[in-house]
């Protein structure tokens, strides 16, 4: 990582982006330019708490549909590396308002690769050789699996929601800019992330907070839909591994080797809470099955053989370890939860109907 002295990160105020920025500030000496539009789920308080952030972290509020501002920022900052994380990411919200996902995930990505390519082309030979554009994507672009099947880097694209369709489009844009214009890119497709600082609309933090408030815990359909769960710190370590690799134009699938049904996830959280915050009755009694999400993909699961074999990356956290750490963090940081929920206007209501 020492060759990347100046790193520009899009979406660095989001859940995964924030975890990446915190890691880089604590474990490298690089300077970071963090650009984010500060949407409803954004938060930079955890970054500002790091001592080195004042000198090595610069935050700029910007929407990626503003191409001229992106050009100005890249030109002034002169990055060796761009990590593109910014994206609208919640499937339910993409059902309610698809246009936001088209603008952010497709047009925003186009603006980033177009600007990055023009910048890269003007670099001298040494810096041109170092420069990298890393695009962070999702396994949802591959669609839905049958039982016992897994995604890999060769899986065909088959997106089923406005969100996954917009991310599939962004993958194709990045890959085509590499093949057509030579932009040195790497693409990673990750499974469902979880961990501290995740906005409470996603399954795991929503379940924790609903349970602690003794409210009904909603589960779509019969709870049999399956996801491969990846602890966010493991995802960050995988991204770092891919940046240390000399290959360009590669795609790596990143998963937690922890495929679980939604009901298994929720019941495990309830069991943890029964031990950590015991009540008169089990938190499992709060589980309520609700009408399924439209177009709900049945199963996601990732084969991590390529990144394991080529880059020696393996998830460090088992699902049980990661979920215990995550649940404990939310119990200890209810003030943060209340603050971000209040500022967002989201109060735990059903979305994507």
Nearest Cα neighbor of 159 from 169, 151, 149 is 169
Is 297 in the active site? no
Read off the DSSP letter of residue 299.
B
Q: Which residues is 287 bridged to in the sheet?
A: 217
Active-site choice (36, 43, 88, 139):
139
From edge to edge, which strands make up the β-sheet containing 6-10?
57-61, 31-36, 6-10, 81-84, 132-138, 185-190, 250-254
* Distance of alpha carbon 125 from alpha carbon 142, whole angstroms: 37
Assess contact for 149 and 165: CB atoms under 8 A: no
Whole-angstrom CA distances from 191 to 3, 165, 166, 234, 259 are 28, 16, 16, 11, 10
Residue 4 CB-half CA count within 13 A:
22
Active-site choice (36, 140, 201, 250):
140
From edge to edge, which strands make up the β-sheet containing 226-231?
192-194, 226-231, 259-261
What's CA 48's distance to the chain center, in Å? 20
Question: Pairing mode, if any, of strands 185-190 and 132-138?
Answer: parallel
Active-site choice (119, 163, 194, 252):
163
Is 40 in the active site? no
CA angle 342, 198, 256 (to 5 degrees): 165
Is 153 in the active site? no
Contacts of 101 (CB under 8 A, 6+ apart): 88, 93, 94, 162, 163, 166
* Distance of alpha carbon 57 from alpha carbon 52, whole angstroms: 8
Q: Which residues are catalytic?
A: 139-140, 163
């Amino acid at each position: 990582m020492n060759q990347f002295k100046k790193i520009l990160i899009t979406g660095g105020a989001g859940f995964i982006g924030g975890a990446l920025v915190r890691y880089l500030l604590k474990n490298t000496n690089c300077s970071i330019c963090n650009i984010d539009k500060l949407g409803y789920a954004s938060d930079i308080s955890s970054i500002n708490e790091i001592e080195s952030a004042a000198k090595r972290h610069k935050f700029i509020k910007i929407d990626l549909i503003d191409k001229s501002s992106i050009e100005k920022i890249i030109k002034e900052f002169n990055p060796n590396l761009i990590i593109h994380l910014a994206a609208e990411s919640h499937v339910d919200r993409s059902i309610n308002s698809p246009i936001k996902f088209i603008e952010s995930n497709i047009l925003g990505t186009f603006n980033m690769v177009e600007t990055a390519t023009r910048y890269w082309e003007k670099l001298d030979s040494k810096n041109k050789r170092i420069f990298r554009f890393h695009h962070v994507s999702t396994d949802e672009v591959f669609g839905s699996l049958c039982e016992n099947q897994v995604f890999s880097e060769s899986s065909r694209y088959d997106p089923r929601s406005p969100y996954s369709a917009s991310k599939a489009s962004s993958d194709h844009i990045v890959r085509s800019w590499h093949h057509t214009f030579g932009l040195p890119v790497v693409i990673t497709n990750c499974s469902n992330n979880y961990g501290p600082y995740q906005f409470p609309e996603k399954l795991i933090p929503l379940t924790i907070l609903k349970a602690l408030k003794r409210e009904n815990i909603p589960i779509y359909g019969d709870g049999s839909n399956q996801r491969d769960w990846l602890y966010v710190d493991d995802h960050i370590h995988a991204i770092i591994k891919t940046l240390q690799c000399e290959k360009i134009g590669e795609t790596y699938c990143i998963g937690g080797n922890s495929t679980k049904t939604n009901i298994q996830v929720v019941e495990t959280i309830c069991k943890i809470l029964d031990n950590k915050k015991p009540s008169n009755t089990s938190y499992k009694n709060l589980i309520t099955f609700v009408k399924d999400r439209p177009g709900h993909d049945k199963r996601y699961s990732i084969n991590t053989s390529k990144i394991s074999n080529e880059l020696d990356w393996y998830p460090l956290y088992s699902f049980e370890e990661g979920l215990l750490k995550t649940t404990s963090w939310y119990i200890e940081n209810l003030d943060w939860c209340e603050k971000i929920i209040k500022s967002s206007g989201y109060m735990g209501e059903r979305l994507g109907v």
